Amino acid sequence: MAFDVTLEMENTTATITLNGALDASTAPKFKEEIEKVPTGKVKTLVLMMEDLEYMASAGLRVLIYTKQKMGAHTDIYVVKPQEMVLETLVKTGFDQSVIVVDNPPKIEKV
Amino acid sequence: MDLRIDSHPTHTYGKFKLRTGRPFPFGATVVPGGVNFSIFSSHAKSCTLVLFEKHAKKPMAEIPFPDEFRIGNVFCMIVFDVDYENIEYGYRMEGPFNPQEGHWFDKSKILMDPYAKIIGGRDVWGVTPDWEDIYHHRARIAPDDFDWENDRLLEIPPEDLIVYEMHVRSFTRHASSKVKHPGTFAAIREKIPYLKELGVNAIELMPIYEFDEFENSRPNPNNPDELLVNYWGYSTVGFFAPKAGYAATGKLGMQVDELKALVKDLHKNGIEVILDVVFNHTAEGNEHGPTISFRGIDNRTYYMLTPEGYYFNFSGCGNTLNCNNPIVRNIVLDCLRYWASEYHIDGFRFDLASILGRDPWGAPLANPPLLETLAFDPILAKCKLIAEAWDAGGLYQVGSFPAYGRWAEWNGKYRDGIRKFLKGDAGRVGDMAQRLQGSPDLYAWEGRGPATSINFITAHDGFTLADLVSYNGKHNEANGENNNDGSNDNDSWNCGAEGWTDDPGINALRQRQMKNAVVMLMVSTGVPMILMGDEVGRSQNGNNNTYCHDNELNWLDWTLLEKNAELFRFFKHCIGFRNAHPVLRSKYHFSNRDYKNSGYADITWHGTQAWNADWSDSSRVLAFMLCGKHAKSGMVEDNYVYVAMNMHWETLWFEVPGLKDGMKWHVFANTGVASPLDICEPGKEGLLEDQSGLLVRDRSVVILVGK
């Protein structure tokens, strides 16, 4: 299954769109994009997951890394995860570390 | 990530880049650029690392440890550029094969790392394995990046604990549980509100270390379509790995995260997690068992062997782990440290713990190094250590387990004493007085406090509470062992008919006896433990050893919550009463003195006459009063509590002790009257009509509160 990830930055919001299957072979790509997000400046990180069809342990690992890298002062939104992905987040308790929503939050004006 | 200059490969083997590893920690550890593999064997001549792609039938590589990568008896090697998320690993060990000498080396077998943190191969409960697989229990590498936030061990004082013993799968496997993923860690999380409502503040999980439910599996003689399996799991495959089949995410390899999420959520809700751990034997059985790990790595070190090389069987399960060998001692210590630090586990209950006090030849030690080490370990310092203080080899140490000021005990004498008194045996009153006080006769002489005594009337071994009052004898035919398995000493009483009956009188008496039992448990000093489902009258149809049943005999039927709502309400309020009254949760044994000048000793004994307990052999009656001014050794003030127990077959008048300072007696519970008047919400007790005394019905218990 193919995987694609894009990063957009606007003001203090970073938006990452994930597409396809996030597994051991594709997780490094996701991590690369996360590395580009500057900590401190970014207050909101939005993960668009509507088209993410599968997430393995390696994907969860990058999410945990993301949470720890961004720190407590960055809100992480998970937008519209598919059922399998949401289930995985819930069963592993990671849903409590992020904000799961149906629509992305409004981007803050500077 | 850039490699440190001291982390560059120095060797190659095929396409793999290698470097001599670090001996510590044992196991597989992710290091910059690769994975450090380290394993001990005192008798192997050589060792080969076997790597698989996840789920692959055949290895993708076999890398012999170069001679220079062995330090002492430890083979250690860093393998660079391996995709640690996607591999499984094992070892082949070469050495002598001579069972008489205790050596079982066989290079044809792939061996699981004893330090494996995740074990694949039984990823989903009950899915029939590929019996042709060359490597059944596959070591994997676990991440340790879980986001614990601010979680830590709760450190609830032991005397304040109320423990709920449960089986992960049984708790929610029944369709009536209405959870998303029945029988899993995730499902327990869904049921936390239930545990909170019940009021317990610790759960004790029957074994959750990786085990093989297919071990010794066989067709059920009563239903050939069903397998009898290793359901309870008292047979460890790997000590460091959670049971994958207990995780809804086991098939995704996320069982570590799922279990940690459960622990974190329980902690958020004020509930501790105690693990039932089995260090007395392993799943490899005796000479005829499978070679999974220890036997092929270093049989003579890990197991107690007879001079002829056979396995000692103090566990009753084929082999006995050689716990007081220094190497084995270290693995036990490493294991417990790992669970305490990595999983935030609050305590451990050691199955057949007396084995841990035997020397390598089986003799009991006066000063067992393993038990001492665990007692004084700095990482385990805040963990509860609880011993099942006996073993299958006849060593019975309730009251004499080597404790070092730290070890608590499952109090088998409490269980037996309460059961006998409950069913109306004569000559039990003196013993009962000891059990109600936290068994000072067993523990006070050595300076051990009441919380040493884990008080229980029922546990997974033996009858459930409903069966204790419904069966005179065990009915284990469904186990396929001609009813020869399971204990014959149950101290149970069926109240007039064996098993199910529609006799309303017998059923009412059984209901009363269950209520009497929970009252006795909740007013006893010490640490009460209740068995999953007793609060709703769960029955196992008289089977007192359901170790092999993955069916409704073990599964908790949640419709009982409605059917036996009266009993659940009674349990809940009794637990609430204990939680509300520190006078019931003393850290120290009673002194039988009035050191607060209240006019009453901390505990006083009564009978049908106040101040005059009947200690005679024919007595079946006992009452006691706890002085609220002496609560928590006089450090806090509480109400007075008076408990009258009439296990006689006639209704009796109990004169109650008078109170001072205008205080009056109020009725909290009376098992002799019908619900809802049998109990009330703690704090909402009604005034006792006649302050001089009351009638206590036959086989009934009353709790009064003085305020």
Contact B249 A92 (CB under 8 A): yes
* pLDDT tens per residue across span B52-87: 999 999 999 999 999 999 999 999 999 999 988 899
The tokens for B551 are: 């069916």
Residues whose CB falls within 8 Å of the CB of residue B581, separated by 6 or more in sequence, listed in order:
B631, B638, B639, B641, B682
The conformation of residue B317, written as its DSSP 8-state character, comes to S
Count of A–B CB contacts within 8 Å? Answer: 64
Pairing of strands B11-13, B16-20: antiparallel
Nearest to B85 among A24, A94, A96 (CB): A24
pLDDT for B13 beyond 80:
yes
Contact list, B86 vs chain A (CB under 8 Å): 24-25, 58
The model's pLDDT over B601-613, given as tens digits with 9 standing for 90+, comes to 999 999 999 999 9
User: Can you tell me which residue has the tokens 């519209």?
Assistant: A80
Distance of alpha carbon B67 from alpha carbon B20, whole angstroms? 10
Cβ burial of B92 (10 Å; 0-12, 13-18, 19+) is buried
Q: Is A14 within a domain? A: yes
Paired tokens of A19? 């597409």
In DSSP terms, which residues pair with B263 in a beta bridge?
A: none
Q: How far apart are CA B176 and CA B471, in angstroms?
A: 26
Please check the confidence at residue B3 and state whether its pLDDT lies above 80: no
Q: How far is B255 from chain A (nearest CA, A)?
A: 8
List CB contacts (< 8 A) between A69 and chain B.
Answer: none
For residue range B583-595, what is the model confidence (pLDDT) as tens digits? 999 999 999 999 9
- Length of chain B as a residue count: 707
Residue with tokens 């000021």: B405
- The Cα B47–Cα B70 span in angstroms is 9
Q: Is residue A20 part of a domain?
A: yes
DSSP type of residue B529: E
Provide the shortest C-alpha distance from residue B178 to chain A (in Å): 16
- Number of structural domains (chain A) is 1
Task: Categorize the per-residue pLDDT at B362 as very low, low, confident or very high, splitting at 50, 70 and 90.
Answer: confident
- The reported pLDDT for the residue numbered A1 is 66
Give this complex's ipTM: 0.86
Any chain B CB within 8 A of the CB of A54? Answer: no
Catalytic residue among B123, B257, B298, B351: B351
Alpha carbon distance B513, B510 (integer Å):
5
Distance of alpha carbon B40 from alpha carbon B321, whole angstroms: 16
Q: Is residue A107 part of a domain?
A: no
Q: Look at residues B560, B558, B540 and name the one whose alpha carbon lies nearest to residue B549.
A: B540
Residue in B204, B258, B346, B388 annotated catalytic: B388
Instruction: Flag whether A110 is in a domain.
Output: no
pLDDT band with cut points at 50, 70 and 90 for residue A64: very high
Does the pLDDT of residue A44 top 60, yes or no?
Answer: yes
Interface of A with B in 23-42 (CB under 8 A): 24-25, 27
A9 within a domain of the structure (yes/no): yes
pLDDT of residue B291: 96
Q: List the one residue out of B441, B436, B442 whose CA is nearest residue B455.
A: B436
pLDDT digits (tens, 9 = 90+) for B346-357: 999 999 999 999
Whether B296 and B93 have beta carbons less than 8 Å apart is answered as yes
Q: What is the mean pLDDT of chain B?
A: 96
Q: Which residue of A has its CA nearest to B186?
A: A91
pLDDT of residue A39: 84
Range(s) of the domain holding residue A9: 3-101
pLDDT, residue B4, reads 65
Residue A99 above 90 pLDDT?
Answer: yes
- Assess contact for B634 and B595: CB atoms under 8 A: yes
Transcribe B96-151 into DSSP letters. Answer: -EEGGGTEE--TTS-B--TT-SEEES--STTPPP-TT-S-SSEEEPPP-----TT-
Of B347, B319, B321, nearest in space to B332 by CA: B321
Is B143 or B631 the better-scoring residue by pLDDT? Answer: B631
DSSP annotation string for B45-86: SEEEEEEEETT-SS-SEEEEPPGGGEETTEEEEEEET--TTS
Contacts of B265 in chain A (CB under 8 A): 93
> d(Cα B227, Cα A69) in Å, to the nearest integer?
48
Angle at B433 between CA B606 and CA B692, to 5 degrees: 15
d(CA B367, CA A93): 43
Q: Is A67 on the interface with B (CB under 8 A)?
A: yes
CB contact under 8 A, B261 and A92: yes
* A70 domain-assigned: yes
The percent of residues above 70 in pLDDT, for chain B, comes to: 99
With bands split at pLDDT 50, 70 and 90, how would you rate the model's confidence at B143? confident
A97: contact with B, CB 8 A cutoff? yes
Give pLDDT, residue A24: 85
Contact A93 B181 (CB under 8 A): no
* CATH label of the domain that carries residue A15: 3.30.750.24
CB < 8 Å to A93, chain B: 189, 257-258, 260-262, 264-265
Strands of the sheet containing A3-10, edge to edge, are A3-10, A13-22, A44-55, A75-79, A99-101
Q: How far is B206 from chain A (nearest CA, A)?
A: 21
CB-nearest partner of A24 from B83, B189, B254? B83
> Is B388 designated active site?
yes
First to last CA, chain B: 68
The answer to whether position A28 is within a domain reads yes
B149 is catalytic: no
Q: What is the pLDDT of residues B471-522, one digit of tens each?
A: 999 999 999 999 999 999 999 999 999 999 999 999 999 999 999 999 999 9
Q: Do B249 and A67 touch (CB under 8 A)?
A: no
Terminal alpha carbon distance of chain A: 39
Q: Which residues in chain A are contacts of B149 at CB distance < 8 A? A: 97
Q: Look at residue B29 and tell me whether its pLDDT is greater than 60.
A: yes
Residue B275 parent element (H or E): strand B272-277
Chain B: residues touching A (Cβ < 8 Å): 83, 85-86, 143, 145-147, 149, 180-181, 184, 186, 189, 247-249, 252-254, 257-258, 260-262, 264-265
Neighbours of B145 (CB within 10 A): 15
Tell me if B85 and A88 make a contact (CB, 8 A cut-off).
Answer: no
Q: Which of B146, B150, B190, B252 to mutate to test the interface with A (most CBs of A within 10 A)?
A: B252
Instruction: Give the model confidence (pLDDT) of B111-137 as tens digits.
Output: 999 999 999 999 999 999 999 999 999
Position B633 confidence tier, pLDDT thresholds 50, 70, 90: very high
Q: Check residue B554 and give its pLDDT.
A: 98
B145, B151, B189: best to mutate for the A interface, most A CBs within 10 A: B145
Summarised one tens digit per residue, pLDDT across range B296-353 is 999 999 999 999 999 998 888 889 999 889 999 999 999 999 999 999 999 999 999 9
Q: Answer yes or no: are the C-beta atoms of B118 and B244 closer than 8 Å.
A: yes
Tens digits of residue pLDDT in B367-394: 999 999 999 999 999 999 999 999 888 8
Paired sense of beta strands A13-22 and B236-242, if any: unpaired
Q: What share of chain A is helix, strand, coil (3-state, %, to 5)?
A: 35, 35, 35
Cβ contact, residue pair B253, A57, below 8 Å: yes
Answer yes or no: is A106 within a domain. Answer: no
Residue of A nearest to B188 (CA): A91
Q: Does residue A63 sit at the B interface (CB-CB below 8 Å)?
A: no
**Rounded distance between C-alpha atoms, residue B432 and residue B421, angstroms:** 7
Least confident of A64-68, B220-224, B618-622: B220-224
Distance CA B327, CA B309 (A): 19
The per-residue pLDDT for A110 is 55
Q: Per-residue pLDDT for B434 more than 60?
A: yes
In this structure, which amino acid lies at residue B520? Answer: M
SS3 call for B338: helix
Closest-CA distance, A109 to chain B, in angstroms, reads: 30
